[in-house]
Structure 1
Amino acid sequence: MLARSFVAGMEFDAFADDRRTFYAVTRCLEIISEASRRLEEPLRARHPELPWRAIMGSGNVYRHEYDNVAESFVWRTVRDSLPGLLAVVDRELNQRTDPDGAASGRPPPE
């Protein structure tokens, strides 16, 4: 996941001091938030362990309250919350491919 790769091997102080990386990661989180809004409800319902409301709402904070977005909040999101979301994305994508690795074009079984 792109946001996570931006901070791989980086310590918090370096992240907080690197404005370009901070803004790039924040933009990636905005995109993830917007994409989560477009997911069908049955898909979100299959993964109640994820805080979907928070994921969907975080984009509003990044877009409209950007002057109040703390580096520590973005850092914790990427380091602590993104791995769980990434695991769900991987599972969903794996369910949507056939054994040869080609996209099946059909939703996963419920």
Structure 2
Amino acid sequence: MAREFLHAIDDILDAIAGIEDATRGKNLADYRQQWLLRHAIQRAIEIISEASRAIPDEVKATQPTIPWRSVRAIGNVLRHEYQGLSDQIIWNVVVDELPKLKKAITHIRNKFDTTGPSK
């Protein structure tokens, strides 16, 4: 089972790392002013959302503090109702929620990967 979803785990970790790199030293004002930064972060969050769908429910259950339905739903909002999301909401996701998700996903990666330590 592990190999079937570990690619999604890696995609999530890669997207989070990209967001971390892109936002290092930046703040909400930077996010609001930089079109490319905004769209790169939004796309990475869409990838995280989509990849989360490939993680089996029993695996997600090992990390009950993560609001998995919200992780899944934000991608749809970004794709279909993007005008309804404020910059502040996305920035809060980056600052407050992604570190928690990274920790949970890293835990899942370490628990289910039988080939060695995670990134």
Query: What is the TM-score normalised by the length of structure 1?
Result: 0.84
CA contact under 8 A between 1:4 and 1:79: conserved in structure 2? no
Q: Which runs of 5+ in 2 are unaligned?
A: 1-16
| Paired residues, number | 101
Q: Which runs of 5+ in 1 are unaligned?
A: 104-110
Larger Rg: 1
Change (3 A) 1:54 1:102: closer
The reply on whether 1:13 has 2:29 as its aligned counterpart is yes
Amino acid at match of 1:90: T
Where in structure 2 are the equivalents of 1:57-68 lying within 5 Å?
A: 57-68=73-84
Query: What is the TM-score normalised by the length of structure 2?
Result: 0.78
Which residue is equivalent to 1:92? 108
Distance 2:102 2:117 in 1: 20
Where in structure 2 are the equivalents of 1:13-92 lying within 5 Å?
A: 13-92=29-108
Distance 1:39 1:83 in 2: 18
Deviation >6 Å, runs of 4+: none
CA contact under 8 A between 2:46 and 2:78: conserved in structure 1? yes
CA contact under 8 A between 2:53 and 2:72: conserved in structure 1? yes
